Amino acid sequence: MLIAILTITGLATAFGLLLGYANIRFHVEGDPVTDQIEALLPQTQCGQCGFAGCRPYAEAIAGGESEINLCPPGGEATMIALSDLLGRDPVPLSEETAEEKPKAIALIKEQECIGCTLCLQACPVDAIIGAAKQMHVVIVSECTGCERCLPPCPVDCIVMEPISQESGGWRWPFPNSEHPEIVSAPPQ
Amino acid sequence: MYVESSKGKIRRLWDFHGGLHLPDNKRQSLQTDVTSATMPALLILPLHQHIGEPAIPLVKPGDRVLKGEKIADNNAPVCAPIHAPTSGIIKGIEAHPIPHPSGLNGPVILLEVDGKEEWTDLPAPISNFKNVDKSLLLRRVRDAGIVGLGGATFPAAIKLNPGKAIKTLIINGAECEPFISCDDRLMQGAPERILNGVRILQHILGAEECLIGIEDNKPDAISTLRSHLADDDSIEVVRIPTLYPSGGEKQLIQILTGREVPSGGFPAQLGVICHNVATAAAIADAVLEGRPLISRLVTLTGDGIANPCNMEVPLGITAANLIEQAGGYTGKSSQLIMGGPMMGFNLSTDQVPITKGSNCLLVPSEEEVPTTGPALACIRCGRCAEVCPVNLLPQQMYWFSRARELEKVQDYNLFDCIECGCCSHVCPSHIPLVHYFRFAKTESWAMEKEQQAADHAKKRHDFRIARLERLDAERKARLRKKKEDLSKKKPLKPAATGEDAKKAAIEAAMKRAAAKKAALQSPPKNTDNLTPAQQKQVDAVDKHRAETTADQE
Amino acid sequence: MQFQTFSSPHTDRPNSVDKVMLQVILALLPGVLAMTWYFGPGVLINILIATLSAVAFEALVLKLRKRPVMSTLYDLSAVVTAILFAIAVPPLLPWWLTVIGMAFAIIMVKQLYGGLGYNPFNPAMAAYVLLLISWPIPMTSWLPPAVLSANPLDFMQIVSAIFTGSPPTGLEWDAITMATPLDGMRTSLDQGHMISEIFQSPVWGDFGGLGWEWVGNWFLMGGLWLIYKRTITWHIPLAFFAGLTGLAMIAFLFDPESYPFALFHVFSGGAILGAFFIATDPVTACTTRKGQLIYGVAIGMLVYIIRTWGGYPDAVAFAVLLLNMAAPTIDYYTQPQVFGHGDNHG
């Protein structure tokens, strides 16, 4: 009896020490999950998920307050990546979210812009330059296509212009084994 | 393996992994001598005929240009200028089908030919190239718009300035793709041009040895070059066994030197530079005659063409026109391939122009190139791995490409794949393996670009947040200070009485109103401190706006 | 003019799956005929039953999975599975066991994993093992080779035995069946006999069982032809024999009276069939060259170990299935060095 108790106690102490050591040895600083989630988001800062930007959405997901299927620019790929990362079940995208829009950037119609600077303040990445009563211009290379500048514009002079597909950025389509022909671009 | 290279010299050759013995099908296009194509009425000159940045037009619609005149260039480090293949009027600069697997349009210069063949003032020939500065020769090669004519279209001048000591210059005359015979024809027809080019290359690079590798299914080319080499010891013509893809740059280097170009690296790291025979000939033209690259040899072959042949054609002529000049279609084909059968790509229309990289137009009959049926499942037989010249495991890469697991494909060294097509050729399930790898490659590049864009956007967003916070803090600090100042000043202020006090109050109110007005007049403004590029963009838009507004009025 | 567009290479493809399968079937023919010669037409009847049921099950599942039926059947993989299974089982196996075996092979082992190319286990061997474990008696009741048979059966007797599952009238199972040579060897060794003593029996030929060794010879011919036609490569068969004979030789040198010589193991049971036709099944084997060598050696050694110390007289099926499981891992760790990744740069 005594031997049994001693053995159990000895084992418990040994494992306890082991666990304690492991806790110190493999300690992880901070909360890396939020960073990892944020890395998967497209960083358009569009707010279409209902949060102020990608970071707040990542925090909401990490906190378990939000679903993983709310990011329209990321689409299904982002949702799958998030479900892989977090071990959550994939959630189908809502119809609105799933609608794949061609990648576009904002364009300000020069004749109509009144120079109100409202879009300047809305742009999450400072991609619009201009000043009061001066025409505003979107910096093409910085625009993420988030559409946040559209609602504030009092004269609706901002349009989303799809990025034209050129042979330079062309991607080989996924091979269709049933129909081996390459699906080409629409006939010119 | 050992072969006799020239004058009894014995040279060791090495093997590369895998490879295929393919029916070479070169005879068809070798029946007739090289002819010159008739100049068409319109030439279509794509601005992007090389690897690197597209050229920018130097001409406007309506300009008259002379033969050999530079019509497009770009100061970007990797670019090659484009010259007018004949004299004529620029008709337009617009989008037009270009030879690209996507079938998409690209920007081109349309040149209406006037038929006068009037040459521009060419730069003076440099006949004693050994006595001039190397930078002059490099400049000449660059200005002549010469790119790798074997099909890679990498600007030749950049390759000639490796920044490393080069021991071996390899000239690629292997031409391992079936059907293509233009390099063979060039070697037989213009050995002096090629050898002159080789000597110029050798001089520029300071290479002590030069090997011209030619597959042994071209005995005439080998003997012609050897007979013209009578007194030149530093250049050796090496007969290499016919085995596809021996003409791949890395494979040819391995055959001739036994060394592997490091993954992701360049031949120059081994002290080796490799150029195609046609590139060498073009360099000779540029240096010895001052002639820019405005034409090339093209093989027209396949059962679908009435008279298969090799033709010297001006750049910019359409495939349709060329095939017409070769007797037209025989109606036996439903495909048009630019390049060889192994690595060429299908064109959806024959209205595309011949560019610097177009070495062959293949119109095969159904017997020559049967259309493959639907693919079956992979049975993991491993034949693809057996023939892969790069020693990859295509069956594993296929598995992950199909599942779109791009990182896994990259772990299996996707980017070492040279897309030679050996794996697809031997696959018993007829899986378009190369297509899967191309998909995975372009998809990986796109993902990387997206990731970069996302990182960039995040950086800008974070910066904006920080800026807003800082502004907010500054504003608050100012307010606080004002309040403190006010509360401090109040007791010190002498109590004004009567009229004075009223006056002072009115004055103060007016001052506040003026300040407010001034503040209103300078709302957020971020047009200060613009980069020159941004300023340029703003200016351009302002100008455009002025113009359009003027138009409306 | 508009043209069709395909992905390169644009060539006449020399290989196809049905060609590969057809070559395997052709290579099996000499061995099958030899089996028929020694063990009677039951072999052919089994092949017929197995083929018909395999094709029927395949068609059924393809239909349920909404996959193209005819074009898939045309790849002949179901026929190869059926033949391999039918020649591995005893010639008088009741028909319903063959059908159960094929149902398991095609439905469970092959199609439920996704069909040809996706199955982790060799379907024929999985079915064989299922039957061997579930119905050990009929699965080990072999006919003696015709030359030794005391009661040769005629065609109708064989048909009735297969289709009724009971021995021909007037005969007992024991009277017409006989243990396989491997089985006989084990039983005799367990009973304490010396090998020199055991080989006195008339059931032995030069290397293995009388008749059996000739069947093995003909399968060997077929296998060599497959290597010649480059349908399979030499790696797995050679490694298999190396593993098998290597261990056998060591044991034989250690005690020749308790451990039969190496060639006995090669020419007994399913060793040759397994080496050339079963272990080389591309879908379930290793694909890297180095991996194939490891895979072959491991199967060969496992066959010897199970035959000598395990619970079953023959072991090809078990060994192959065990190594099927290990194949992806072996492949992972035996990747060849890709061009430009070594130190052959200078």
Tokens coding C38: 């020694």
Nearest CA in chain A to B351: A188
Min mean pLDDT across A182-186, B370-374, C141-145, C341-345 is at A182-186
Partner C, chain A 114-153, Cβ-Cβ below 8 Å: none
Chains B, C: CB contacts within 8 A come to: 184
Q: Mutating which of A136, A148, A166, A178 best tests the B interface, going by the most B Cβ atoms within 10 A?
A: A166
Write the single-letter amino acid at A97: T
Contact, B70 vs B58, CB < 8 A?
yes
- Mean pLDDT, chain C, as a whole number? 89
Question: Confidence class of residue C168 from pLDDT cuts 50, 70 and 90?
Answer: confident
Neighbours of B465 (CB within 10 A): 15
Write the pLDDT tens digit of every residue in B189-241: 999 999 999 999 999 998 888 999 999 999 999 999 988 887 767 888 999 99
Tokens coding C258: 């308790």
pLDDT at A187: 37
Pick from B268, B347, B264: nearest CA to B302: B347
> Mean pLDDT, to the nearest integer, of A160-170?
71
**CA atoms of B441 and B444, how far apart (whole Å):** 5
Residue C66's Cβ-side half-sphere holds a number of Cα atoms within 13 Å equal to: 0
Pick from A102, A149, A105, A160: nearest CA to A124: A149
Write the pLDDT tens digit of every residue in A17-57: 999 999 888 877 766 788 888 888 888 888 888 888 888 88
Contact, B172 vs B301, CB < 8 A?
no
Q: B109 φ, ψ to 5°?
A: -105, 130
**Looking up tokens 């071996």, which residue turns up?**
B168
Partner A, chain C 82-111, Cβ-Cβ below 8 Å: none
Contact, B265 vs B240, CB < 8 A?
no
Neighbours of A142 (CB within 10 A): 18
DSSP H/E element including A22: helix A2-25
**Looking up tokens 């998809």, which residue turns up?**
B443
Kindly state the percentage of chain B with pLDDT values over 90. Answer: 54
> Mean pLDDT, to the nearest integer, of C229-258?
92
Write the pLDDT tens digit of every residue in A58-101: 888 888 888 888 888 888 888 888 888 888 888 887 776 666 67
Using a CB–CB cutoff of 8 Å, tell me whether C8 touches chain A.
Answer: no
Ramachandran sector of residue C269 (left: φ over 0; alpha: ψ -120 to 50; beta: rest): left
Q: How many residues does chain A have?
A: 188
pLDDT at A184: 42
Pick from B82, B227, B258, B251: nearest CA to B176: B251
Give yes or no for residue C208 having a pLDDT over 80: no
Which residues, in sequence order, are bridge partners of residue A129? Answer: A137
The set of chains that have 3 or more CB pairs under 8 A with B is A, C
pLDDT at A31: 67
CA distance B334 to chain C (A): 6
Using a CB–CB cutoff of 8 Å, tell me whether C66 touches chain B.
Answer: no
pLDDT at A168: 59
Helix (H, G, I), strand (E, B) or coil at B196: helix
Chains A, C: CB contacts within 8 A come to: 11
pLDDT at A70: 84
pLDDT at B551: 56
Residues 6+ apart with CB under 8 A from B256: B13, B14, B168, B170, B211, B213, B238, B240
| Spacing of C-alpha B285 from chain mean position | 22
What Rg value do the Cα atoms of chain C yield, rounded?
21
Write the pLDDT tens digit of every residue in C143-154: 888 777 767 778
Instruction: Sheet containing B309-314: give its strands across.
Output: B35-36, B309-314, B295-301, B360-362, B337-338, B345-346
Pick from B222, B239, B245, B238: nearest CA to B176: B245
Question: Confidence class of residue A186 from pLDDT cuts 50, 70 and 90?
Answer: very low
The model's pTM: 0.84
The set of chains that have 3 or more CB pairs under 8 A with C is A, B
Say if residue B155 is preceded by a cis peptide, omega within 30 of 0.
no
Write the pLDDT tens digit of every residue in B414-456: 999 999 999 999 999 999 999 999 999 999 998 888 888 888 8
Residue A108's Cβ-side half-sphere holds a number of Cα atoms within 13 Å equal to: 34
Residue B23's Cβ-side half-sphere holds a number of Cα atoms within 13 Å equal to: 10
Helices assigned H by DSSP within B393-497? 394-402, 406-411, 422-426, 433-492
The residue ranking higher by pLDDT, B197 or C197, is B197
**CA atoms of B454 and B458, how far apart (whole Å):** 6
Residue numbers in B near C15 (CB within 8 A): 383, 426-428
Helix (H, G, I), strand (E, B) or coil at B89: strand
Neighbours of B502 (CB within 10 A): 11
Using a CB–CB cutoff of 8 Å, tell me whether C201 touches chain B.
Answer: no
Helix (H, G, I), strand (E, B) or coil at C175: helix
Q: Mutating which of C1, C2, C5, C11 best tests the B interface, going by the most B Cβ atoms within 10 A?
A: C11
Using a CB–CB cutoff of 8 Å, tell me whether B97 touches chain C.
Answer: no
What separation in angstroms does the CA of B112 have from each of A188, B43, B88, B350, C162?
22, 7, 5, 19, 85
Write the pLDDT tens digit of every residue in B39-54: 999 999 999 999 888 8
**CA atoms of B158 and B170, how far apart (whole Å):** 16
Measure CA of the first residue to CA of the last residue in chain A; give whole Å.
90
Contact, B378 vs C77, CB < 8 A?
no
Which residue of C20, C118, C338 is in closest CB contact with B377? Answer: C118
Measure CA of the first residue to CA of the last residue in chain C; give whole Å.
51
Q: How many residues does chain C have?
A: 346
Residue numbers in C near A185 (CB within 8 A): none
Using a CB–CB cutoff of 8 Å, tell me whether B408 touches chain A.
Answer: no
**CA atoms of B308 and B35, how far apart (whole Å):** 11
Question: Confidence class of residue A188 from pLDDT cuts 50, 70 and 90?
Answer: very low
Beta-carbon separation of C4 and A181 below 8 A: yes
**CA atoms of C335 and B382, how far apart (whole Å):** 12
Helices assigned H by DSSP within chain C? 17-39, 42-64, 70-73, 77-88, 95-103, 123-134, 136-140, 155-164, 173-176, 181-190, 195-198, 212-228, 235-254, 262-266, 271-273, 289-309, 316-333
**Looking up tokens 């095609």, which residue turns up?**
C106
Q: Which residues of chain B have pLDDT under 50?
A: 553
Beta-carbon separation of A181 and C2 below 8 A: no
What separation in angstroms does the CA of B547 have from each of A38, B287, B399, B481, C13?
45, 47, 57, 49, 61
Residue numbers in C near A176 (CB within 8 A): none
Tokens coding B178: 């079936």
pLDDT at A11: 95
- DSSP annotation of B129 reads G
